[in-house]
Structure 1
Amino acid sequence: MTLPNLNTFAPNARPEALASKRAPAFAKGSSVVVVGAGAFGGWSALYLLRKGFQVTLVDAWGAGNSRSSSGDETRVIRSTYGANQTYFDLNVRALELWKENQARFDKKLFFNTGVLWFCYDEKTPLVDDSIAFARRHTMDYEYLTTQELNRRYPQIHTHDLHHAYLDPYGGYLKARESMQAVQTAVAEEGGHYIQAHVQPMPEQHGTLETLHLSNGDTLTADAFVFACGAWMGTMFPELLQRQVNCTKQEVYYFGAPARHAAAFEHLPVWIDVDGQDFYYGIPGNTHRGFKIGVDIRGDVFDPTHGDHTLTPEALTKARTFLAHRFPQLRDAPLSESRVCPYENSSDGNFIFDLHPETDNVFLLGGGSGHGFKHGPALGEQVAQTLAGERQLSEMFALKKTD
């Protein structure tokens, strides 16, 4: 089963996006259990700690594990979201926090390579509509003609492109290593980490008091944040079965020819705005190889039991694109492949909302393939919300169901 392709490069803003609603507030020193040590859960746990809460972080396999959406080597960080200012502004804050935290961790996590957008037509709303936001933040893009693109990056085939834009402020992040650094920081800053599986949640009403773990233990807390990534739908099957799903997304690492390796290593992150597949790539990857992925949705995937093996048809198609856009990589060998489970919301927007039948259970998810980079900014917002300093945003609200 293949699901409709969502354009998560620019999720549509909901009509009520600027509205907000109140959430229950919890006093400093209250206990919070965060389920899931991925990009959303790990950062939330860390910022809840920094806000003065007592925090327990729980994960079945550990931060950056190979089953998780954040278990690969790298992830793109970009602000460009078309006309959606919410995500642009959120990423600007996230970028500030990535830089701040890598200094605190004494570990380089952000690589400022820039992001190249390959545009086929004179007008490309996905990029054009973000230009005003970029200027507002003094993060201007650079317009590159194909002639200039050829001069700077002769590795790129440009004959079918109209132009490109270079976002000099973006780049890529270490993924697996970042999440392990966050988990370490949670422990060092006073939190408690437990590796155990949380049992799926039955229907909830009122106040949740206890969680049951696979090791036989139970956890009690004043509030609970479920940030289960690809497992969100199975954790709350009745509530979320129509709102989230998990798909199998593949990325490939190719070995550049020795005589071209250095040139490819120093290319910016790139995104091909063809309106269909949205191939993207991270050339450097700290010497892991030339990485290419595709945003079109794959088959429904079981993140626990599904095999992380490549699909021959998808690989063949990716090779065809690679040979076209980067001719020097036409015969490049495949050095490895990864599977990234996408936890898709129904419209590509994130989910951060109070469980509708409870007063102390928060749901945080819907990363939809573009969530990783926003992790620290979302974590900060989660902490502010539980502390009563901000309200829940309707942009990230659960959809009403009949």
Structure 2
Amino acid sequence: MADLTRRDTLEAGAATLGYALGAPAVRADAATDVIVIGAGVFGAWTARALQAAGRKVLLLDAWAPAHARASSGGESRMTRGSYGADEVYTRMAWDSLAEWRALSARAELPLFHRSGVLFFFPRREDYAIRAMEAHRRLKLPTELLDRKEMARRFPQIDFTDIEIGLYEPEFGALMARRSVETLVAEFAAAGGRYRRAAIAPPQPGRGPLARIVTTAGESIAAPNFVFACGPWLPKLFPALLGPRIFPTRQEVFFFAPPAGDDRFSVGRLPNWADFNEGDIYYGFPDLEGRGIKIAHDRHGPAIDPDAGDRTASEHALADVRRFLERRFPALRGAPLNEARVCQYENSANGDLLIDFHPDRPNLLLVGAGSGHGFKHGPAVGRYAASLLLDPDFAPEPRFSLASKGLRQQRAVH
């Protein structure tokens, strides 16, 4: 890839993707080392990490990279390092940030906006103190701000009843769909193969999986498989993951700022999250003119990713509008630009799943992003590749299948 310009690289990848979308057949050959099923953020970064390690990879998706119903689809995702005492995720977010920034630098349009992230709290909660301790151990440039300083820097926000905030100046917003599309285009331009194909649930059994079968009846063989299928994992492995991964319906809204008012743009307003005693609301500045994004980080009802209703609800709109007008008085009555329904695919407590199938030693399961996984894509890809390639790699117990419970009780925020 060294002899390709940024535009050449992406155009070559896009051409490969366009050809692949129209391909009538999907076949791996003897040169294929790994088939990755799912071209969302986890699957794409895993395919790229395996490719960087010299493996021949075939990447499959039933629709397209970061398509409209995927958990990796949509306009934007937050990247932040505040995780309370969960330092494993702070490290992953910080380690991933460098790769996101490098990918953005290679792209024609920005994939990362360094808007900063402000996480604020009604009092000096343990979550905030433990997060700050973790950031100091890792030497992150995070600032602990009092209410007066937050009000001085960010007068757009009403900090009534807020005591402290954590400001992370190096983090910000990722352009989600665009990022995954760019990554897959680079993967294809570097010799990776991407194809559009839907996979039938693998047949139960023990021992290495020999092949997968598409819904069109094509059989594809390879030595190793990675299933990174987000909310479709419980459908592909109903007995194993049906009771352990919980897809939930989540709604996000975009509101128009006042005409000519740049107080809500990147550089003036950070990404933000109101901890609100654990009942979190979060939002984004006006990214690229799309509008000010806000969502309630409460798990919604169960959703079928194929057949679930994608119409935004009036009660969710009323909920976020009340909150928006409370914290951002200048946005009272702001017009709604857009509403979108996506989903989380939650593990019982919010930890990621990156582990081998208990009966199939060559089948790696990667998922359970649990609403916070997108930012960790590069680290997840490296971790998954290490599990496949390095017999001495020490896995993180929290990502194991054995640690996944059967009842939702989120602990990771």
Give me the TM-score of the superposition, normalised by structure 2: 0.87
* Correspondence 1:391 to 2:394: yes
SS in 1 for 2:195: strand
Partner of 1:325: 327
By how many angstroms is 1:354 displaced?
A: 0.7
RMSD of Structure 2 on Structure 1 (CA): 1.6
1:1-400 equivalences under 5 Å are: 31-105=33-107, 107-121=109-123, 123-260=124-261, 262-265=262-265, 266-388=268-390, 390-399=393-402
Distance of 1:214 and 1:194 partners within structure 2: 14
Per-residue CA distance 1:206-231 (angstroms, 9 max, x = gap): 01011111233221110000000111
By how many angstroms is 1:135 displaced?
A: 1.8
Distance of 2:235 and 2:90 partners within structure 1: 30
Q: Give yes or no for contact 2:45–2:378 (8 Å, CA) kept in 1.
A: yes
What amino acid maps onto 2:173 in structure 1?
Y
Distance of 1:328 and 1:103 partners within structure 2: 34
Per-residue CA distance 1:341-372 (angstroms, 9 max, x = gap): 10111110000111001110110001000000
Larger mean Cα displacement after TM superposition, 141-150 or 334-343: 141-150
By how many angstroms is 1:106 displaced?
A: 5.2
Larger mean Cα displacement after TM superposition, 105-114 or 340-349: 105-114
What amino acid maps onto 2:279 in structure 1?
D
Distance of 2:375 and 2:193 partners within structure 1: 24
Give me the TM-score of the superposition, normalised by structure 1: 0.89
Per-residue CA distance 1:63-91 (angstroms, 9 max, x = gap): 12100111111000001111111111111
Distance of 2:354 and 2:289 partners within structure 1: 36
Distance of 2:245 and 2:104 partners within structure 1: 31
By how many angstroms is 1:105 displaced?
A: 4.1
Distance of 1:104 and 1:318 partners within structure 2: 36
Q: Give yes or no for contact 1:85–1:133 (8 Å, CA) kept in 2.
A: yes
SS in 2 for 1:309: coil
By how many angstroms is 1:143 displaced?
A: 2.4
What amino acid maps onto 2:312 in structure 1?
L
What amino acid maps onto 1:42 in structure 2?
A
By how many angstroms is 1:150 displaced?
A: 1.9
Per-residue CA distance 1:170-203 (angstroms, 9 max, x = gap): 1110100001011111211111111011002232
Per-residue CA distance 1:297-318 (angstroms, 9 max, x = gap): 0010111111211111111111
SS in 1 for 2:385: helix
By how many angstroms is 1:377 displaced?
A: 1.0
SS in 2 for 1:129: helix
Distance of 1:56 and 1:143 partners within structure 2: 45
Q: Report the number of matched residues.
A: 372
What amino acid maps onto 2:396 in structure 1?
S
SS in 2 for 1:172: strand
Larger mean Cα displacement after TM superposition, 159-168 or 79-88: 159-168
Q: Give yes or no for contact 1:131–1:140 (8 Å, CA) kept in 2.
A: no
Partner of 2:27: none
Partner of 1:18: none
By how many angstroms is 1:107 displaced?
A: 4.6
Distance of 1:150 and 1:193 partners within structure 2: 49
Q: Give yes or no for contact 1:80–1:88 (8 Å, CA) kept in 2.
A: yes
Q: Give yes or no for contact 1:205–1:357 (8 Å, CA) kept in 2.
A: yes
Larger mean Cα displacement after TM superposition, 386-395 or 185-194: 386-395
Report runs of 4+ in structure 1 exceeding 6 Å deviation: none
What amino acid maps onto 1:40 in structure 2?
F
Distance of 1:33 and 1:272 partners within structure 2: 40
What amino acid maps onto 1:45 in structure 2?
A
Distance of 1:316 and 1:284 partners within structure 2: 20
Q: Give yes or no for contact 1:270–1:281 (8 Å, CA) kept in 2.
A: yes
Which of 1 and 2 has higher RCO (CA within 8 Å, sep 6+)? 1
Q: Give yes or no for contact 1:73–1:285 (8 Å, CA) kept in 2.
A: no
Q: Give yes or no for contact 1:202–1:236 (8 Å, CA) kept in 2.
A: no
Between the aligned residues of both structures, percent identity stands at 40
By how many angstroms is 1:276 displaced?
A: 4.1
Q: Give yes or no for contact 2:132–2:144 (8 Å, CA) kept in 1.
A: no
Q: Give yes or no for contact 1:41–1:379 (8 Å, CA) kept in 2.
A: yes
Larger mean Cα displacement after TM superposition, 172-181 or 382-391: 382-391
By how many angstroms is 1:43 displaced?
A: 0.6
By how many angstroms is 1:148 displaced?
A: 1.9
Q: Give yes or no for contact 1:242–1:346 (8 Å, CA) kept in 2.
A: no
Distance of 1:384 and 1:188 partners within structure 2: 23
Partner of 1:15: none
Distance of 2:287 and 2:71 partners within structure 1: 17
What amino acid maps onto 1:372 in structure 2?
F
By how many angstroms is 1:156 displaced?
A: 0.9
What amino acid maps onto 2:251 in structure 1?
E
Distance of 1:276 and 1:91 partners within structure 2: 20
Q: Give yes or no for contact 2:202–2:213 (8 Å, CA) kept in 1.
A: no
